[in-house]
Chains A and B, each alone.
Chain A
Amino acid sequence: MSKIYIGGVGLNRVGRHFKKDIVDLAYEVSLEAINEAGIEPDAVIISNSLGNVLQKQNNLAQYISSSIGLRGKTAYHVEAGDGSGGAAIHIAYTLLKAKIASSVLVVGVEKMTDYPSHVTHTALSQLLNYEYEAYYGATLSGIAALIMRYYMKKYEVSRDAVSEWPVLMHYNASKNPYAQIRKTITKENVKESQIIADPLTLFDISPIGDGAAAVLLVGEDYEHQLEEKPEVFLDTVVHHAYELELTLREDLAALPTVRETVDLALKKANLRIQDIDVIELHDSFTITGLLILEEAGLAERGRAAYLLSDGRFRHGDKPEVNLSGGLKARGNPIGATGVYQVAEVAMQLRGAFPGLQSNSPEIGLVINMSGIGSSVSSIVIRKR
């Protein structure tokens, strides 16, 4: 089987980039990835979710690719909410496996700070079922709050216990130069911060920020074109779609979609979860971070928070989880998030992550999700 290598990566610090528009953000990271790899891509996948609402711009793949000097290439735009990045990686992987393209640039970009936050929240609620959830005033945070309250009651998990998650994410992000929020917090801060959707506070949700990340993927047959041989390859990419509605879940305190895709990705890669060294997972909310740990087989149901308080999953453990600071503190620029995760794991495996660096990791896993599990990409990344 031919291997798909990560030839170059580019990242912006997530934040409020008032002077840059969506094309400027995409340009910087694309150039980084192209320059690192030393080749121009022959296809471009733009991963973006909210641009047609917040920038009122459609035709996005054409608009961005032609604006950044990639005119006349195959170009697609992928939209799958905050799971867009994983879906975009899956399409790039497929094009390369099929040898339809020899090199593909995946650019995740989201511009979320052009309006006050309630406008961005309105746009984000379009990740839900509009007619039967958002119509009634439910927001994405509101749906996460429904799950968190149910989970805390069902498994008798306290507010302080679940706060372990944001506290660890903020600590990890404090070392990451690309993170939006680089300040440590305490459990008291979490409890006392502004209520967004009870019981979720400001520190239980990922912040609103602009961001862009790019990876340049190349097929094995073309890797000789590269100036330096890439060290890291995409082993397996699994992407599945599911229903959007919380009302259709058999268990409200579960993300079966995560379990299915992680199990399948590991099986295809001939690995067990215990083999994974570093993970970047989709903690769009405190509760989704904890549920993903449980669904990935890293904690018993209802136990993830207690494992964190025992010191698990931090720098130096196996696996190390979200050394970037996760969506919680690195940031969650929706359509760009999955591409950040892939770039970060690739940098970890190369030993070149500028924040908390894992000690000689060999195998990494990305879990990227849209909404509260309406699509999931599970991606195994390895060192050659």
Chain B
Amino acid sequence: MVWKLSPVSVWRHRIPRYRLIGKECKKCGKHHYPPKLACPYCGSRDLKNIELPRSGIIETYTVIYEVGEEFRHKAPVVIGLVKLDDGTRVIAPITDVAEDELEIGLRVEATFRRIRDGDHFGVIGYGLSFRPIRTNVSKTSS
């Protein structure tokens, strides 16, 4: 039982998924992601699209060993809950990181990546992963 990626669904979600478009509530001012049709905090339906910041910190993370069928060849999968610089939270894979580098508070930035391989419809699932912001290149390469 392998999930089939729907070409239409992948296309439909491309803007919020690739460009990190969330919502801003015109009533209470809070941002949220993924985008909803009503504010999760005050219930207002008066919302507008907003491009969210592409950097933040890892607020919590996990390394998943018991993965679903489609991710078995990639296991373990590192998933982070990233708190973006405006306070909005995103769940995304953490990439280009060694397991012992992972820590709460680590600064990360969004990077466009292949998330899921093509299935028999030929659709490849792309999306954003987050990687550590390397300020000192020589230190990390040693």
Residues of A within 8 A of B (CB): 53, 115, 117-119, 121-123, 125, 129, 131-139, 141-142, 145-147, 149-150, 153, 194-200, 243, 245-248, 250, 252
B34, B70, B72 — most chain A CB neighbours (10 Å): B34
CB-CB under 8 A from B79, the residues of chain A are 136-138, 142, 146
Asked if B69 contacts A118 (CB within 8 A), the reply is yes
Known: A137-B93, A149-B60, A195-B63. 17 other contacts (CB 8 A): A121-B68, A131-B9, A132-B17, A132-B91, A135-B115, A137-B64, A139-B64, A139-B67, A142-B64, A146-B60, A146-B81, A153-B60, A196-B64, A197-B64, A243-B40, A246-B81, A248-B89
Interface residues of B in 82-139 (CB under 8 A from A): 88-93, 104, 115-116, 125, 127
List residues of chain B with CB within 8 A of the CB of A252: 59-60, 81
Chain B residue at minimal CB-CB distance from A249: B89
26 A-B pairs with CB atoms under 8 Å apart are A53-B1, A118-B66, A121-B68, A122-B69, A131-B34, A137-B74, A138-B64, A138-B91, A142-B77, A146-B61, A149-B61, A149-B62, A150-B59, A194-B65, A198-B62, A198-B63, A198-B64, A243-B36, A245-B34, A246-B89, A246-B91, A247-B33, A247-B88, A247-B89, A248-B89, A252-B59
Contact B32 A248 (CB under 8 A): yes
**From B13, B40, B63, contact of A248 by CB (8 A):** B40
Closest 9 CB pairs of A and B: A145-B62, A122-B68, A247-B89, A132-B34, A150-B60, A137-B77, A198-B63, A197-B64, A248-B40
Number of interface residues of B (CB under 8 A): 40
* Cα–Cα, bound, A301→B71 (Å): 35
Q: Tell me the B residues contacting A by CB distance below 8 Å.
A: 1, 3, 9, 13, 17, 32-34, 36, 40-41, 59-72, 74, 77, 79, 81, 88-93, 104, 115-116, 125, 127
Residue numbers in B under 8 Å from A115 (CB-CB): 1
Given contacts A129-B34, A146-B60, contact A139 B1 (CB under 8 A): no
Given A122-B1, A146-B62, A196-B66, A137 contacting B81 (CB threshold 8 A) = no
CA distance A146 to B41 in the complex (A): 21
Q: In the assembly, what is the distance between CA of A61 and CA of B72, in Å? A: 34
Which single member of A117, A135, A136 contacts B66 (CB below 8 Å)?
A: A117
